[in-house]
Structure 1
Amino acid sequence: MITSIWKGLINSFEKKYSYGDAIDHYVVVKELGKGSYGTSYLVRDRNTKQRYVLKRLRPYKRFFNNGQNFIEYEASILRNISHSSFPSVFSQGVEGKSPYFVMEYKEGKTFETLVFKDKMCFDEKSSAQIVLKLIKLVGFIHENGYVHRDLRLPNIIWNQEELSIIDFGLCTRIQSTSHIEVHKQKDYMRERAVTSDFYALGHFYLFLLYSCYHDFDLKEKSWEEELDISSRTRQVLRKLLGIEEPYKDYKEIITDLSR
């Protein structure tokens, strides 16, 4: 009850942009998504007609300590780990006292859309190939000293076999390279260690494998009972999810998946 009232107050306080609204020389096409600190819009440059993503700080965050720094921080991370599979930052500004930055719009569909709306089926082989591509991108993030911490279906885009990772709002510097027993942590994906990304990858992998699952048995089972997968795939998943000794480095995962 209290949570619902709080969310209602926050949303009523925030101005929602609609189609045709202008922010500097950008024109809003539609809202793409709303996170805990930022709202993302698909926008079009009024002069070039090029499409971009504009991420604006949610107004209520201005009243929190360091709230204004969220936008600057994410933009700086994207500049620091520049890669063709991550959005490039083009400009920054302030609108209605709320800072924003404009970044590249990545073409394609999120895996959330592919799995739940388009009902695509990814078999064991294609799932492994996708996760192998993805772990190489995650490895690039780790090599630069960061951990993404939000590798979920809505934040991974597929476009003609090419992958992109978006939403670096929770990305942070790696603070621990030591072994972490992921399955004992309260919030697995929020640890500032590489194992948090590996745990998220494990769940991403499971979503792909379940996309072809059609057993309607009402009896509750574990994924190990339900999925008809090889022992090698099972072993990779158990290590990603921290059920067994977790991976310590992304290169170990590449080695296992490449087999």
Structure 2
Amino acid sequence: MMNRIITRWRGMMEAWRDYPLQQGAVWNGRYRVDRLLGMGSYGQAYVCRDLESGAVVLLKRNKPSKGQVGIELLRRENAIMEQLSHPQIPVRIAYSKRRRDEAIIMEYVEGFNLEHAIYEQKMTFDAREALSMLQQLLGPLRYLHAQGFVHRDVRIPNVLLQDGVLHLVDFGLACRVGEELPPALRDALGEGEAMAAQSAAAVKHRMRGPYPSSDWFGLGHLFLFVMYSGYEHPEGAEEGTWMEELRLEPEIEQFVAKLLQDEPAWQSTEQCEEELISLLHKLRQAH
């Protein structure tokens, strides 16, 4: 009984500490909150107005209840974003500290993510459109890998669509190629535990490796999410593999399988991109 009371009290305290900044609140005398954009496991994102420049910006602060781990993840993200400059990656503008809270100020990319497009707007895509999305994303990923970093979270919520152009966002889990995270961060992110071969945790584990192939795997998973947006499972039919259900053209199926395989299929992201460009060219010629 007492344990349940303590657990409930802790939950209430965490919810109170993480209560979002209210519309009109001003962060550090400069950034006025227009609205809460989203809340993740370790951070909160707000659309703000920079009162000095007049620009609309995105403010991402640590989630207070996550303590030092949330701050450490935010500082890591800031340090990586500070080194990046690519048109499909938001520009890091500043880093701001306010008492115990800290925040990254970055370019606000106005648009909607693929998760919203699929589940809220009910948008569907064919295989060629989905492959074209991968081609767009391979640009910022090739750049990122060349700078020595891995995103480690290439998923539909982290891909924004703005005027027909895809942007890669949320570098909160990014790391250097080959980097082993400190034990405290690995434990907090659930990356130090053993994972079953056939589980959602295994998919997460596969995507979290500090190597470019983890982002290729993320692209493969993203492709399947996009394709299943228009898939209707036949009534009464048994569930099959993605290969059985989606019935893709052989060349497309082969490429996606290479993205998803355990052993890296290419020596570099450039090679992956070149193969995809060649595949898209062949598909256009065939139709």
Q: TM-score range by the shorter chain?
A: 0.7 to 0.9
Cα distance, 1:50 vs structure 2: 2.1
Distance 2:207 2:158 in 1: 14
Task: Verify the 8 A CA contact 1:42 1:51 in the aligned structure 2.
Answer: yes
Match of 2:101 among 98, 101, 106: 98
1:235 aligns with 2:254: yes
Where does residue 133 of structure 1 map in the other structure?
A: 136
Q: Helix, strand or coil: the match of 2:252?
A: helix
Distance 1:96 1:136 in 2: 38
| 190 and 59 in structure 1: CA distance in 2 versus 1, 3 angstrom threshold | same
Task: Verify the 8 A CA contact 2:88 2:166 in the aligned structure 1.
Answer: yes
Distance 2:12 2:43 in 1: 16
Cα distance, 1:10 vs structure 2: 2.4
Cα distance, 1:220 vs structure 2: 1.3
| 244 and 144 in structure 1: CA distance in 2 versus 1, 3 angstrom threshold | closer
Deviations 1:63-115 (A, max 9, x none): 45xx5333222112112121121111222222242111210001221001111
TM-score, normalised by the number of residues in structure 1: 0.87
Match of 1:82 among 55, 74, 85: 85
Unaligned stretches of 5+ in structure 2?
180-195, 280-287
Cα distance, 1:15 vs structure 2: 3.5
Task: Verify the 8 A CA contact 2:150 2:176 in the aligned structure 1.
Answer: yes
Distance 2:263 2:174 in 1: 26
Cα distance, 1:130 vs structure 2: 1.1
- Identity of aligned pairs, percent? 29
Task: Verify the 8 A CA contact 2:159 2:166 in the aligned structure 1.
Answer: yes
Deviations 1:104-163 (A, max 9, x none): 001221001111111111111111111111112111111110000011111101112211
Match of 1:10 among 1, 10, 14: 14
Distance 2:16 2:160 in 1: 31
Distance 1:14 1:113 in 2: 24
Q: Helix, strand or coil: the match of 1:32?
A: strand
Task: Verify the 8 A CA contact 1:198 1:247 in the aligned structure 2.
Answer: no
Distance 1:133 1:252 in 2: 15
1:200 aligns with 2:218: yes
Letter in 1 for 2:231: Y
More helix by share: 2
Deviations 1:170-224 (A, max 9, x none): 0000107xxxxxx969411111111211111111011121222233434211111
Distance 2:158 2:45 in 1: 13
| 256 and 7 in structure 1: CA distance in 2 versus 1, 3 angstrom threshold | farther
| 245 and 78 in structure 1: CA distance in 2 versus 1, 3 angstrom threshold | closer
1:188 aligns with 2:206: yes
Distance 2:12 2:208 in 1: 26
Distance 1:135 1:27 in 2: 35
Q: Helix, strand or coil: the match of 1:54?
A: strand
Letter in 2 for 1:57: N
How do residues 4-83 of structure 1 correspond to structure 2 at under 5 angstroms?
A: 8-24=12-28, 25-64=30-69, 67-83=70-86
Q: Helix, strand or coil: the match of 1:28?
A: strand
Structure (1 or 2) with the larger CA radius of gyration: 2
Task: Verify the 8 A CA contact 1:238 1:244 in the aligned structure 2.
Answer: no
Consecutive aligned runs of 4 or more in structure 1 exceeding 4 Å deviation = 4-9
Task: Verify the 8 A CA contact 2:149 2:176 in the aligned structure 1.
Answer: yes
Where does residue 180 of structure 1 map in the other structure?
A: none
Task: Verify the 8 A CA contact 2:45 2:60 in the aligned structure 1.
Answer: yes
Distance 1:7 1:236 in 2: 45
Letter in 2 for 1:236: F
Distance 2:150 2:169 in 1: 13
Unaligned stretches of 5+ in structure 1?
177-182
Distance 1:225 1:243 in 2: 20
State the superposition RMSD in angstroms: 2.4
Task: Verify the 8 A CA contact 2:113 2:158 in the aligned structure 1.
Answer: yes
TM-score, normalised by the number of residues in structure 2: 0.79
Cα distance, 1:47 vs structure 2: 4.7
| 244 and 234 in structure 1: CA distance in 2 versus 1, 3 angstrom threshold | farther
Cα distance, 1:9 vs structure 2: 4.2
Task: Verify the 8 A CA contact 1:236 1:253 in the aligned structure 2.
Answer: no
